[in-house]
Amino acid sequence: MGATYYLKGDVTKRRPMRIRNLSSLSVPSALWHELAAVMRLGDKLPGAIADDLGMYGSCQTLSVTVRPRRAVPANRVIKTGSYTYGRISLFPCRHCTSGSMTQVVLHELFHAWLHQYHDDFYTCHPHCDLAERFANAGFAALGGALRSPELCGSYRLAISNAMRSLPLFRSVANTLLRL
């Protein structure tokens, strides 16, 4: 159950989730598409299909926007990602790596999954700690390593190894998806 792709007009494959990169950071788009597909967020979102209030706008699929890199004072904890109604926004600093942004994507995918499949829990209970635990487990399953969770530049992830490790990530995600 992998993601499918549009390749120069080839309609045999498609990629509904959109990734818009406004930063100078190289993002592992193919990996992020696969992660979303594993979490059942790669196609039309259940909440968007049932949306009768217009909260999702005209888009019914997940959208990821990587904002331009920004300067951040040393030793300052900053917000690096957010999720709301089918939209993930990432806010990398000048030290962020594609590994650290992948960990943030995993964190936000947890929020998106919870919102789409368990809305009652999403709206009534704090779940950021659970999202962080899932992101850390998923990052490790993909072969990621870090020296310090407080230093975004210390997150290392070899994308080719992560793509090969998708079955292990799938097993981590399946423990969540059974809920």
Would 4 be classed as within a structural domain?
A: no
Task: Give domain status of residue 13, yes or no.
Answer: no
Task: Classify residue 3: in a domain, yes or no.
Answer: no
Other beta carbons within 10 Å of 128: 10
Pair of tokens at residue 10: 């080839």
Number of domains in the chain: 1
**Which pTM does this prediction carry?**
0.85
Q: Would you say residue 6 lies in a domain?
A: no
What pLDDT is attached to residue 179? 59
- Among residues 77, 72, 71, 67, the alpha carbon closest in space to that of 24 is found at 67
Does some domain include residue 8?
no
pLDDT at residue 26, rounded to an integer: 92
Cα–Cα distance measured from residue 154 to residue 76, given in angstroms and rounded to the nearest whole number: 15
Q: Is 66 helix (H, G, I), strand (E, B) or coil?
A: strand
| Domain membership flag for residue 62 | yes
Burial of 140 (0-12, 13-18, 19+ CB in 10 A): middle
In a domain, 130, yes or no: yes
- What pLDDT, on the 0 to 100 scale, is given for residue 4? 41
Domain of 116 in residue numbering reads as 18-177
Q: How many CB atoms lie within 10 A of CB 127?
A: 16
Rounded Cα–Cα distance for residues 79 and 56 (Å): 23
Local confidence pLDDT in tens for the 179 residues of the chain: 444 444 334 333 445 888 999 999 999 999 999 999 999 998 888 767 666 676 666 677 788 999 998 887 776 666 789 888 888 999 998 888 999 999 999 999 999 998 888 877 767 777 888 899 999 999 999 999 988 877 888 889 999 999 999 999 999 999 877 65
Residue 1 inside a domain? The answer is no
Backbone φ and ψ of 53, nearest 5°: -105, -5
Sign of CA dihedral 13, 101, 41, 89: negative
- Please, what is the end-to-end C-alpha distance for the chain in angstroms? 19
SS3 134: helix
State the pLDDT at residue 50.
Answer: 67
